[in-house]
Amino acid sequence: MDNPYASKRPDQRLAVVIGAGGMGAAVVRRLSHAYRVLVADIDAERAKTLARELTDEGGDVEPVACDVTTTTSVDSLARAVADAGGFRVLAHVAGLSPAAENFQQILRVNLTGPALVTRALLPHATAGAAAILVSSLAGHGFTPAPAVAPLLTEPHDERTAERIEAETPPENRSGALAYQISKYGLLSLCRREVGAWGEHGARIVSLSPGLIATPMGAIEFEHSPTKRDLLTRTPLGRQGTMLEIADAVEFLASDRASFISGTDLLVDGGLAGTLIPTP
Ligand SMILES: NC(=O)c1ccc[n+]([C@@H]2O[C@H](COP(=O)([O-])OP(=O)(O)OC[C@H]3O[C@@H](n4cnc5c(N)ncnc54)[C@H](O)[C@@H]3O)[C@@H](O)[C@H]2O)c1
């Protein structure tokens, strides 16, 4: 039942958050302190439940159902954003983990999705807007196969995931590889789109979490000895928290980050420093 005491906040700027999962919910909760929020997820019930909870806490949070992998769904999200007067912050948090094991679907959700969303929403960016795309440490220190690299320059193309799969030998088609390719592709997307966003007076950045304690992350721990090894190699000796990701998103979205664009912020407790050899 709707909260009869809820109040709308037309005085606040709009933040659009894609993903109402673990990390997405933490980001929505944080941004709802200073923005009205539109939260989009393919799981309409999850978005609704989150919006209801945060409305009860005094936020102005609206849910919207959106499948980021389909143009029609993303276009209707863009219309909702236009109707709401444009956005100041876009945080694309939704993503499938390597455990999803569907090679093409991981690429579609983690790469085609953010490409379609950023392209459809850019015309509705208000002055000083910022887009923050959640990538991963997994996209760092990785080089895609020579046949795959050129395909990553067309992340908006709905056939790209299929083409990447076709260029990957069947024995290599793991969820882990699709995840690395998708997150590497997202880092590249952010650098490639920086000019277009600049023309609108807007910024685009990626954020790469290392090991973060989330329900999704916990499932990966059960399935992956590599992940347990990565934890022991994290210089700060622990996983990060979703609150620490929300801190970083809040900063990147804010005017204090007003000259930061086209780059990536690693939030990994120093893990990249131990994994990726320095030149
Ligand atoms: N947890 C970690 O350690 C870690 C590390 C690095 C990066 N990440 C990244 O953080 C992000 C969020 O992780 P999380 O733990 O919140 O994940 P989660 O699984 O809790 O939430 C992901 C959300 O994405 C939604 N989603 C899936 N497919 C979608 C689609 N087609 N369209 C719209 N929404 C869709 C799901 O319904 C879900 O609500 C992901 O991009 C993940 O790759 C996580």
What is the C-alpha separation between 85 and 168, in angstroms, rounded?
Answer: 43
Evaluate whether 251 touches 257 at the Cβ level (below 8 Å). yes
> What pLDDT score was predicted for residue 251?
98
> What pLDDT score was predicted for residue 277?
81
Residues contacting 199, CB < 8 A, separation 6+:
none
Does the structure show a pLDDT above 70 at 55? yes
Helix, strand, coil shares, percent, the chain, to 5:
50, 15, 35
What is the C-alpha separation between 42 and 258, in angstroms, rounded?
Answer: 31
Does the structure show a pLDDT above 80 at 1? no
User: Please, how many CA atoms are within 13 Å of residue 152, restricted to the half-sphere of its CB?
Assistant: 25
What is the C-alpha separation between 279 and 277, in angstroms, rounded?
Answer: 6
Q: pLDDT band for 99, please (50, 70, 90 cuts).
A: confident
Domain ranges, ordered by start, for the chain? 14-211+242-267
Q: What does the block give as tokens for 152?
A: 């990553």
Assign 77 to helix, strand or coil: helix
Q: pLDDT band for 224, please (50, 70, 90 cuts).
A: confident
Does the structure show a pLDDT above 70 at 66? yes
User: What separation in Å is there between the alpha carbon of 21 and the centre of ligand 1?
Assistant: 6
Considering the chain, what percentage of its residues have pLDDT values greater than 70? 100
> What pLDDT score was predicted for residue 204?
98
What is the C-alpha separation between 68 and 58, in angstroms, rounded?
Answer: 28
> What pLDDT score was predicted for residue 220?
78
User: What separation in Å is there between the alpha carbon of 11 and the centre of ligand 1?
Assistant: 30
Eight-state DSSP code of residue 150: G
Q: What does the block give as tokens for 109?
A: 């959700």
CA-closest residue to ligand 1 atom 37: 43
Does the structure show a pLDDT above 80 at 192? yes
Q: Tell me what the pLDDT averaged over the chain comes to.
A: 96
**Mean local confidence (pLDDT), 210-230:** 86
**Mean local confidence (pLDDT), 125-149:** 97
> What pLDDT score was predicted for residue 198?
98
Considering the chain, what percentage of its residues have pLDDT values greater than 90? 90
Evaluate whether 233 touches 202 at the Cβ level (below 8 Å). no
Measured from the CA of 212, which atom of ligand 1 is nearest? 3
Smallest CA-to-CA distance from 23 within 242, 244, 266 is with: 242
Q: Please tell me the class of the 14-211+242-267 domain.
A: alpha beta
Q: Which residues line ligand 1 (CB under 6 A)?
A: 19-24, 41-43, 46, 66-69, 93-96, 109, 113, 134, 136, 209, 211-212, 214-217
Question: Pocket of ligand 1, candidates 28, 49, 70, 93: which has the most ligand atoms within 8 Å of its Cβ, to mutate?
Answer: 93
> What pLDDT score was predicted for residue 222?
79
Phi, psi of 175 (to 5 degrees): -60, -35
Distance from CA of residue 246 to its chain's centroid? 12
